[in-house]
Homo-oligomer: A and B are copies of this chain.
Amino acid sequence: MVKHFSAPYDRSMSRHDEIRQEMLRRINDGEWPVGSDIPHEMVLTEEFGAARGTVRRALSTLVEQGLIERRKRAGSRVVGQTSQTSKLHIPLIREEIESRGHAYSYRLLEREVKPGLHGIGTRNGLLWVRCLHLADGAPFQLEHRTINLDTLPQAAEQPFRVTGPNEWLVREVPATRVITRISAAAAEAEIAEILAVPEHAPLLIVSRETFMGEAHLTEARLSHPAEQYQVTTLSI
């Protein structure tokens, strides 16, 4: 006799979420231990009394979460924490500061057009901007930014005197690919002075490169005093 699963009545959850929850429970309770094969799609389809697409959607989410892996012809199996990935979300710096209850302010430090480098911005050059983002008047983030004037010629007309490049980019420019690098470094003398920290103080540095398709759009190097800032990510 086939054992049918039925979730406790709850319309706040879609069917594929209910099924995924039940699958999570089985993994959690050791009914589906790490390394073991889980039943085939058709078996699950029958057991849950749902369409194959719905079961597949639940399974796909578990794959995204890195809890199971699927191999054609060989079924699916539970995996350990190996492939755990998290979602990193870096908000607009103004939103970040305001969400902490501080007053945001902005200061443009430098702005000039430089010749292109390494095949980037070789026609129109690169717009180079250095600016400071402050929380309650205290330096919070130092931004070094270059904008590719070949792919974003409109940027040349932006003064960036009262709002930073990021505000403009968010409003105007979509991106298909972002590379983010997070590192630590000791503050050099000039940067330390701007950020009002002692020389050699630890900094958390976030570097982002943004592309639309293959076209390089912009690059930012964001330096923060280590005490004031950390990056947080949540699982999928």
Mark A residues whose CB is within 8 Å of B.
Answer: 24-25, 27-28, 34-35, 65, 67, 78-92, 166, 169-186, 200-205, 210, 212-213, 215, 226, 229-235
Contacts and interface: CB of A to CB of B under 8 A. Distances in A.
Contact of A186 (B25, B226, B229): B226
Given A81-B175, A176-B28, A176-B67, A184 B212 contact: no
Contacts of A170: 80-82
A83 B233 CA distance: 14
Contact of A171 (B80, B88, B215): B80
Most-contacted residue by chain B among A79, A82, A203 (CB, 10 A): A82
Contact of A81 (B35, B174, B215, B235): B174
Given A28-B213, A174-B27, A203 B204 contact: no
A205 B203 CA distance: 12
Given A85-B88, A174-B27, A232-B179, A184 B202 contact: yes
Given A88-B88, A180-B233, A233-B179, A80 B186 contact: no
